[in-house]
A and B are shown apart, each in its own frame.
Chain A
Amino acid sequence: MTTPLRLHVRPRGAGGEVEFELLLDVPSDLNYVGPAVDLIAERCRHGALSPRRVEFNLRTALAEALANAIAYGNRQDPSRVVRVRVEASRAWLRIHVTDDGAGFDPAVVPDPTLPGRLEREDGRGLFVLRSLVDHVTFNEKGNSVCLTLRAG
């Protein structure tokens, strides 16, 4: 890890629902996942979500989304970055994670809790992510995921 992570905070307001946005570019190196999650969780600590949901649900789900984008989307290509955009309102937090990859079809990812798959080392990322946030959507191409965590 040699590139410092720079988190940009963009106030919104002016009558809109979104109070502020966070923007972060993350190099395609899995060692950046932890520090990137730390930076974003720190800024979200006093918002719509309870501290417990920030420390567990937000951190874990964001780590999953970043790891997927870096490993499968950008294939750990150092010339590519993963873009994170967080929209924070009083009612919810929305996290967009976008890579430069060709995308994938989330509908074809097998259930990792099936008996034949339970002892596999990999394949749980999407399942864990879906379990920890209130809503998950992908863009049509499948290279951008949006995680919504409602207040509370």
Chain B
Amino acid sequence: MGFSLTQKKPGVVMVGVDGQLIVGNRQELKQKVLDALDGGTNKFVIDFSRTGYIDSSGLGVLVSLSKKIREQGGDLRLAGLNDDLQTLFELTKLDTLFSIAKTPEEALAAFSP
């Protein structure tokens, strides 16, 4: 359970979400990403391949992080959503706000080197 941040290529950090992203742990994710943003990274891939469920607070934190990252000239992409999570993004129309890739590798490749 938890969040892991790994630099996959220069300026791009992959964030793994293990377990769930909900009201009880969203602040931890937000702080970790904001710390990396302060450290100069402004491109992020959030990998949900190992995520069971996301509640509306988790969705909200993704929206606010994406806004902050874009304000700093960066981008946040999502990847690895299972069918249920993909449906959740579609129902809430958040699929229109985010770039969503099937796999973390595809999301990484979409960032120019």
From A37, A63, A67, A113, residue with most partner B Cβ within 10 Å? A63
A140 to chain B, nearest CB (A): 25
Number of interface residues of A (CB under 8 A): 28
Within 8 A of B (CB), among A11-50: 30-34, 37
Task: Knowing A63-B23, A113-B92, say if A56 contacts B60 (CB, 8 Å).
Answer: no
Q: Please indicate the chain A residues that have their CB under 8 angstroms from the CB of B59 in the complex.
A: 124, 128
Main secondary structure of the interface of A (DSSP, over half): helix
Task: Knowing A113-B92, A120-B63, say if A125 contacts B24 (CB, 8 Å).
Answer: no
Contact of A59 among B53, B56, B93 (CB under 8 A): B53
Within 8 A of A (CB), among B24-57: 24-25, 52-57
Q: How far is the CA of A52 from the CA of B53 in the complex (A)?
A: 11
Q: How far is the CA of A52 from the CA of B64 in the complex (A)?
A: 29
Contact status B24-A33, CB under 8 Å: yes
B51 to chain A, nearest CB (A): 10
Contact status A118-B53, CB under 8 Å: no
With an 8 A cutoff between CB atoms, is B94 at the interface?
A: yes
Mark interface residues in B3-41 (1 if CB within 8 Å of A CB, else 0). Answer: 000000000000000001011110000000000000000
B56 to chain A, nearest CB (A): 4
Contact status B52-A128, CB under 8 Å: no
How many interface residues does chain B have, given as a range? 20 to 34
From A60, A112, A120, residue with most partner B Cβ within 10 Å? A60
Q: Please indicate the chain B residues that have their CB under 8 angstroms from the CB of A119 in the complex.
A: 63, 67, 97
Q: Please indicate the chain A residues that have their CB under 8 angstroms from the CB of B24 in the complex.
A: 30-34
Contact status A56-B53, CB under 8 Å: yes
Within 8 A of B (CB), among A121-137: 121-122, 124-125, 127-128, 131
Q: Please indicate the chain B residues that have their CB under 8 angstroms from the CB of A100 in the complex.
A: none
Give B contacts to A, CB under 8 Å. 20, 22-25, 52-57, 59-61, 63-64, 67, 84-85, 88, 91-94, 96-97
Nearest 3 Cβ contacts at the A-B interface: A124-B56, A121-B60, A56-B84
Contact sample, A vs B, 10 pairs, CB 8 Å cutoff? A33-B23, A60-B55, A63-B23, A64-B56, A118-B97, A119-B67, A120-B63, A121-B61, A124-B92, A131-B91
